Structure 1
Amino acid sequence: MKKQTLNKQILLTGGGTAGHVMVNLALIPLLKEAGYHIDYIGSYDGIEKDLISPIEGVTYHAISTGKYRRYRSIENIKDPFKVLNGIRQSVQLIHKLKPTIIFSKGGFVSVPVLIAAKLTRTPAVIHESDLTPGLANKIAMPFAKKILVTFEETLKYVDEKKAAFIGAVVRPELFEGSKQQACQLLDFNPNEPILLVMGGSTGAKHLNEFIRSQLEVLTKKYQVIHLTGRGLMDESITHPRYRQFDYVKAELNDLLTSADVIVSRAGANAIFEFLALKKPMLLIPLPKRVSRGDQVLNAQVFEQAGFAKVLDEDELSATTFFETLTQIEQETPEIKARMAKRDAKDAIHHVLETIRAHEKHESS
């Protein structure tokens, strides 16, 4: 019988967007409680550095990483060399830190880490949030021992022999939000409806511009919270029923809890959090012409389940937007009833169990 090592050392990775960090953020408190020493590999200047570096008990290590661009750029020539350097740096870190397991949430920073895991014979577990795997996870999956997926349909796109459907990983602190605290922060009336607009951590220029163009009508009915994305606020707009933030962290749970309706892109982590909070949503996914189409697929699944209404960005107009918003208002009791019936899995604990089952042992 294999004896588990006393060195409970885990290496986390993932970044590029907040969605590639959120599962790690949910996992970190459980890992601490289980006695793991935690290190994190991310990029030099990605959002993961901002989110992870301040966490006590987690050591952040930056490496060189590439990026896939859907346009011509001299950087596309440089990137293979950046990835090779990132592999070298990751191998050095793994030899130094001696992790018993690596857990990856995806994003291009994870690719050199997973290749290094294979080179150093360190077991790795990957989590895929979207319905179809992104390019980074497609590259990294052959180097992993186990693949965990959020959508059951994703099993068709991965190696089923080492894949497991676990459902959505939702941060436990998500349910600790307070509408009262949000309204105090915003100076909003808690008895009037609140609409929250979220474009994702990197923002959504078209969606931001559209919402601002409709504020006169929107604010007659709703108090509006607008999460614009970093550097995308418009300081010239002031309105007693409109509040904008480029990015929020500590206050996000309160803001989400306060919302009666959410207008958002369709990143998997975000929409599953809305679902967990039973928030009716109008999804405007990132279009295929500027993405790989994962958000379109995520949104379709939620629409088919009756959790959301979906608008194609190319069809977004004042008419279609307000017609769809009215449908959501009218169907809110039915939408919430369907959400309440959803079979929610205890996914975060499944992740922890998988990590424990696949980490290195002294006799390995």
Structure 2
Amino acid sequence: MKNRILFTGGGTGGHVYPALAVIERMNKENWDIAWIGSTEGMERGILEKTDIPYYGIPSGKLRRYVSLKNFTDLFRIAAGFFRSFYLLRKLKPQILFSKGGFVSVPPVMAAYFLRIPVFTHDSDIAPGLATRINARFAHRILLSSEESGKFFPLRLRDKIIVTGNPVRKSLFSGDRDTARTMTGAPEGKPVILVMGGSLGAEQINRLIFDNIDRLTEKYFIIHQTGEKNFRALEKENYYGVPFFNEELAHIFALSDLVVSRAGAGALWEFAAAGLPSLLIPLESGSRGEQVRNAEVFVEKECSLMLRGKIDGETFLDTIANIVDNEKKLAGMKAAAAEAGKSDGAALISRIIEEVI
């Protein structure tokens, strides 16, 4: 009889793809795997492209500011708890693995009351509020770095294991020629990949669109815009899509530099692919976790960071200082490969199997 493990988390790709990396490493002959996520979250669309059974629950958001939705969402969170309690009683998993996001809190609490061991992992240097809540109910707290441990009270620190961040194996199997055929990128022109996370990034998109003529004179631009910012732009040396899926491995293999936000999951994927990065972290409306993430990778010398209000000249000059300097670009690629050589997904899967 197989052991059963339920995964939970969602809201962004950063709460889904690292968990999929762990699932890749697990022995499917020993495990029956399913996922609990939001009935309406973007994680549902990602999981529906896999063979992993998906169970939706109502989900509310935990906000740090005054809002009427803080009151109404309490009812959604309560409904999510009771739905999770029912699912966990029905499915009887040996373990619940949480990757964070607000949708993960009700299943984690329900698992605690049912005495189901909870493993929670956070990719960010500064763990999110959902993870800090979940940690109180967790059997093990899995973190990306030693520095992340300081965000938890002393009484919880004996539960902490530093694992690094899990990265999908599929991202190592990219083919440059496949990417050239897909995008139309010519030989001999540096390729810059632009990503704003799974939901897009308006600031980065604006920098690209406002400077597209000068960028495409020197470089081939591959641009993930996000759904709401997508433009069907007919431009030589430009290839734009709303969102990359499995083809991302091929895109990584072709790219010389990535311009991106600084979500932790994405940064570890870039490093694992040996990709240097120019990071423009999200600051407005965030708790500052992306700035901390970016600082770590700048210290590792595989990234540069731009902050605040960024003008076109600064943006273009920074790209040129990396891509047009062969020695600097090679050094950043080597540093990225060094930073990304750990296999967090394999370690996490071993930890889970040891508990069983």
Work out whether the TM-score is over 0.5: yes
The reply on whether 1:272 has 2:268 as its aligned counterpart is: yes
1:66 is displaced (CA, Å) by 0.8
1: distance between equivalents of 2:158 and 2:29?
Answer: 28
The reply on whether 1:189 has 2:183 as its aligned counterpart is: no
Aligned pair partner of 1:234 in 231, 234, 242: 231
2: distance between equivalents of 1:203 and 1:339?
Answer: 23
Report the TM-score when normalising by structure 1: 0.92
The range that moved more, 71-80 or 46-55, is 71-80
User: Which residue matches 1:126?
Assistant: 120
Matched letter for residue 96 of structure 1: K
Does the 8 A contact of 1:101 with 1:358 survive in 2?
no
Q: Which residues in structure 2 correspond to 1:45-60 (within 5 Å)?
A: 45-56=40-51, 58-60=52-54
Q: Per the alignment, in what secondary structure is the counterpart of residue 332 of structure 1?
A: helix
Aligned pair partner of 1:356 in 341, 353, 356: 353
The reply on whether 1:89 has 2:83 as its aligned counterpart is: yes
For structure 2, the 5+ residue unaligned runs are none
User: Which residue matches 1:40?
Assistant: 35
Matched letter for residue 291 of structure 1: S
1:72 is displaced (CA, Å) by 5.2
The CA RMSD over aligned residues, in Å, is 1.5
The range that moved more, 215-224 or 273-282, is 273-282
Q: Per the alignment, in what secondary structure is the counterpart of residue 290 of structure 1?
A: coil
2: distance between equivalents of 1:224 and 1:294?
Answer: 27
Does the 8 A contact of 2:276 with 2:336 survive in 1?
no
Q: Which residues in structure 2 correspond to 1:197-346 (within 5 Å)?
A: 197-235=194-232, 237-287=233-283, 289-312=284-307, 314-329=308-323, 330=325, 331-342=328-339, 344-346=341-343
Change (3 A) 1:30 1:305: closer
Q: How many residue pairs get matched? A: 350
Q: Deviations over 1:162-201 (max 9, x none)?
A: 0011112111111111111111011111332111100011
1:151 is displaced (CA, Å) by 1.9
1: distance between equivalents of 2:341 and 2:191?
Answer: 26
Does the 8 A contact of 1:282 with 1:325 survive in 2?
yes
The range that moved more, 257-266 or 318-327, is 318-327
Matched letter for residue 27 of structure 1: V
Does the 8 A contact of 2:269 with 2:340 survive in 1?
no
The range that moved more, 133-142 or 338-347, is 338-347
For structure 1, the 5+ residue unaligned runs are 1-5, 360-364
The reply on whether 1:64 has 2:58 as its aligned counterpart is: yes
User: Which residue matches 2:133?
Assistant: 139
Change (3 A) 1:9 1:54: same
1:143 is displaced (CA, Å) by 0.6
Q: Per the alignment, in what secondary structure is the counterpart of residue 59 of structure 2?
A: coil
Report the TM-score when normalising by structure 2: 0.94
Does the 8 A contact of 1:70 with 1:290 survive in 2?
no
1:76 is displaced (CA, Å) by 2.2
2: distance between equivalents of 1:261 and 1:353?
Answer: 33
1:69 is displaced (CA, Å) by 4.3
Q: Per the alignment, in what secondary structure is the counterpart of residue 37 of structure 1?
A: strand
1: distance between equivalents of 2:168 and 2:160?
Answer: 22
